[in-house]
């Protein structure tokens, strides 16, 4: 009886293994170095990643933009960003336009998921704050308004 049990389990074991074959190891392949992509160029220039490739800043400030930017800040940003340099949930905004490229700021606002995934500066901020910046559904135009408001916060005229 014991023999039958062993025999049966052997049959089941063999059946379970049936069809399994070792696959040959992959041939080593050579990886060709590709020339840097436009995305890499953007990153290298500190512009972040996103639809915003270049921004022209004007002086004096566009006061209509500043006003719209402030109301967007009040509604969608002020919960996490102070207008001083103090970090709360997110970094304080004071001085940001001096240290970051305008393209980087606008891409961070409008393309936050990709930025957190690929941009080293954005990743450093995530490590610091440990709260992923929410996508607040801010359009490119609205982000430009917010940028103008940030410039005012930094004392631009």
Partner 1 sequence: MKQWLIGSLIFVAILAFAINGCKPQNMATAVTGDAASKVYVAPGKYDEFYNFVSGGFSGQMAVYGLPSGRLLKVLPVFSVNPESGYGYSEESKPMLNTSHGFVPWDDLHHPELSQTNGEVDGRWIFGNANNTPRIARLDLKSFKTAEIIEIPNSSGNHSSPFITENTEYVIAGTRFSYPMDNKESNPDVSIDTYKDNFRGTVSFVGVEKETGHMDIAFQILLPGVNFDLSHSGKGPSSGWFFFSCYNTEQAYTLLEVNASQKDKDFIMAVNWKKAEEYVKQGKGKKQKVRYAVNRFDEHTHTATSTIKEEVLVLDPKELADMVYFIPCPKSPHGCDVDPTGQYIIGSGKLAATIPVFSFAKLQTAIQAKDFDGDFDGIPVVKYESALYGEVKKPGLGPLHTEFDGKGNAYTSFFVSSEIVKWNIEKLEVLDRVPTYYSIGHLCVPGGDSQKPFGKYVIAYNKITKDRYLPTGPELTQSAQLYDITGDKMQLLLDFPTIGEPHYAQACPADLIAKNSLKIFKIEENTHPRAAKGEGQAKVERNGNDVHVYMTSIRSHFAPDNIEGVKLGDNVYFHVTNLEQDWDVPHGFAVKGANNAELLIMPGETQTLKWTPDRVGVFPFYCTDFCSALHQEMQGYLRVSPAGSKVELKYSMGKTEKPE
Q: How far is the CB of 75 from partner 1 (least distance, A)?
A: 4
Q: How far is the CB of 74 from partner 1 (least distance, A)?
A: 4
Report the C-alpha gap between 108 and 114 in whole angstroms: 9
> Would you say 57 or 89 has its CB closer to partner 1?
89
Q: How far is the CB of 133 from partner 1 (least distance, A)?
A: 9
> Would you say 57 or 75 has its CB closer to partner 1?
75
**Minimal CA–CA distance to 39: which of 118, 100, 110?**
118
> Would you say 45 or 78 has its CB closer to partner 1?
78
> Would you say 1 or 15 has its CB closer to partner 1?
1
Q: How far is the CB of 131 from partner 1 (least distance, A)?
A: 5
* C-alpha of 131 from chain center: 12
Report the C-alpha gap between 10 and 134 in whole angstroms: 57
Applying CB under 8 A, which residues contact partner 1? Answer: 1, 4, 74-76, 78-80, 88-89, 130-132, 134-138
> Would you say 43 or 145 has its CB closer to partner 1?
145
Who's near 14: CB < 8 A, 6+ residues apart? none
Report the C-alpha gap between 34 and 47 in whole angstroms: 21
Q: How far is the CB of 22 from partner 1 (least distance, A)?
A: 27
**Minimal CA–CA distance to 146: which of 53, 83, 60, 54?**
83
């Amino acid at each position: 009886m014991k023999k039958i049990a062993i025999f049966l389990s052997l049959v089941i074991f063999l059946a379970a293994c049936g069809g399994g074959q070792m696959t040959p190891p992959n041939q080593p392949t050579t990886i060709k170095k590709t020339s840097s992509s436009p995305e890499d160029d953007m990153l290298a220039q500190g512009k972040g990643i996103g639809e915003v490739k270049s921004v022209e800043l004007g002086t004096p400030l566009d006061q209509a933009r500043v006003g719209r930017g402030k109301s967007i800040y009040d509604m969608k940003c002020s919960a996490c960003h102070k207008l001083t340099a103090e970090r709360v949930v997110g970094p304080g905004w004071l001085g940001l336009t001096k240290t970051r490229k305008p393209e980087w700021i606008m891409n961070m606002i409008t393309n936050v998921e990709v930025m957190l995934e690929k941009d080293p500066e954005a990743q450093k901020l995530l490590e610091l704050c440990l709260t992923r910046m929410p996508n607040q559904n801010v359009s490119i135009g609205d982000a430009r308004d917010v940028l103008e408001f940030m410039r005012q916060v930094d004392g631009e005229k």
